[in-house]
Every structure is written in C-alpha cells, then in structure tokens.
Structure 1
C-alpha cells in the first residue's frame, strides 16, 4: 500500500506537520519519496507509525521513542534492551491506572454521598407533604 502524507495523517488522526516531525526525528526510519519529492508511505511505515502512536498514547517521550526505534533498527542484538523499555513503560501505565482507579473511587464515594442525601431529602419532602 502506498499512501500520501494526507491519507496517513487522516488515518492516524495527526497532522502532516506531525508526520514530517516524526520523520525528522527518526521515528519513521525510511519514508520513500516519489521523483517529485512527495512522501509515499508503505505498510512498513504505517507499522512504525502504529508503534509511535501506541507509545505516545502511553505517555512515552519522543526522545524515549526515538531511542526505541533506533534499537529496533539495530536488529536482534537489542531485543533485551527493547524489552526493558517496554517493561518500564508498563510500570508507568500501571501507575497511571492506579491513580485513576483511586480518583474513580473518590468520585464514587461523592456520588454515594449525594445519592444518600438526595434520597433522605426526597423522603422528608414526601413525609412533609403528606402531613399537610
């Protein structure tokens, strides 16, 4: 598959500027160009973009992603180091999940409090209206 920069930008919901930036930073190792200089993205390039997008979504910095991509391009000798990077990122994600789980528990407690108060107030209102 050969896609234009516009098509790839739409597919990954990013701007063409971002794609050019990723290429300059070495996050997409070897984007081909037509004779007229326009970029042509292949399935391999889309694979790299998928990896970059995934890592960015997990909060990994551009420099960290760049290091990872460089390791990938260096072949199988870097498998252990790449695995360490993924393990570290997994720890970071798990910390974020814990943080949001704690926040969700707090929100749930507040909702329970409001539900209880609203129910008691509604009950009082009904009792007061019946007495009239």
Structure 2
C-alpha cells in the first residue's frame, strides 16, 4: 500500500515537518510520483519503526544517519551495518549492567533504612 505524506504522517504519528526533516538529514528516502509528491510504502513503515528502535537505544543521530546511508547503499554494506549494531548492543549491555548495579545498591540502601526504621519503632 502507498501513502502520501499526510496519510503517512498520521499512520506513523509524526508531523509532516518531521518526515521532511528525516528526509533532509538522510534517514528516509521516499520515492516521488510524476508530480514530485512523496510516496511512502510498507517498507518505509518498517524502516521508520527500526529508526524509532535505534533512537530508543540512545544511538546517536549521527550513527543512525550513517546506518541509514549504508542501508540505502545496499547489501554490500551488511558488514558495516552489523558492526554498528554490535557496537550499539555492547553499549546497551553496558548500560544494563550499570542499571543492575545501581538497582542492587538501591535495594541495599532501602534495606538499611527499613531495618533502622524497624529498630526505631521497637525502641519507642
């Protein structure tokens, strides 16, 4: 199914200006019809959803742009794209480990406070 920019912006929950900006910075490359209107398809939906995922992982916009550039060059760039994703995955694992470490420390501190509060209540 094909969409013009207004339909596509509603479907994706993005403003028309955002879609034009994404195109300007090279994240998306919609095809154009005979009168130069942007035409989006299901493949563009999948691609934008993947961009949203990359943004959720806090991948820097410059890296997303680079990934997009590689994607549009085709399968000859698969190794480079894989490297970018593996680096991002490593950053995510590092963040996860930091979060788990912080959770552990918070649990310990909460446990200390609960114990002290219980002791105070007993000593009243």
Which bracket does the TM-score occupy, shorter chain normalised? 0.7 to 0.9
- Partners in 2 of 1:123 and 1:35 — Cα distance? 81
1:116 Cα shift?
A: 0.5
Aligned length: 121
Listed one character per residue, the Cα deviations across residues 4-39 of structure 1 (whole Å, up to 9, x for unaligned) are: 1431342xxx444332211111111225469584x4
Query: What residue number does 2:20 align with?
Result: 20
Q: Could you report, residue by residue, the CA deviation over 1:45-93 in whole angstroms, capped at 9, with x for unpaired residues?
A: 1111011111111111222111111211222211111111111111111
Q: 2:119 and 2:84 mapped to 1: Cα distance?
A: 53
Q: 5+ unaligned residues in a row in structure 2: which ranges? A: none
- How do 1:1-132 residues align onto structure 2 when only pairs under 5 Å count? 1-3=1-3, 4-10=7-13, 14-32=14-32, 35=35, 37=37, 39-125=38-124
Q: Which runs of 5+ in 1 are unaligned?
A: 126-132
TM-score with structure 2 setting the length:
0.82
Residue 79 and residue 2 in structure 1: after superposition, are their counterparts in 2 closer, same or farther (change >3 A)?
same
What is the TM-score of this pair, normalised by structure 1? 0.78
- Rounded Cα–Cα distance in structure 2 between residues aligned with 1:51 and 1:64: 13
How large is the Cα RMSD of the aligned pairs? 2.2
Structure 1 distance, partners of 2:32, 2:45, is: 12
Check 1:70–1:94 CA distance in 2 against 1; reply closer, same or farther (3 A cut).
same
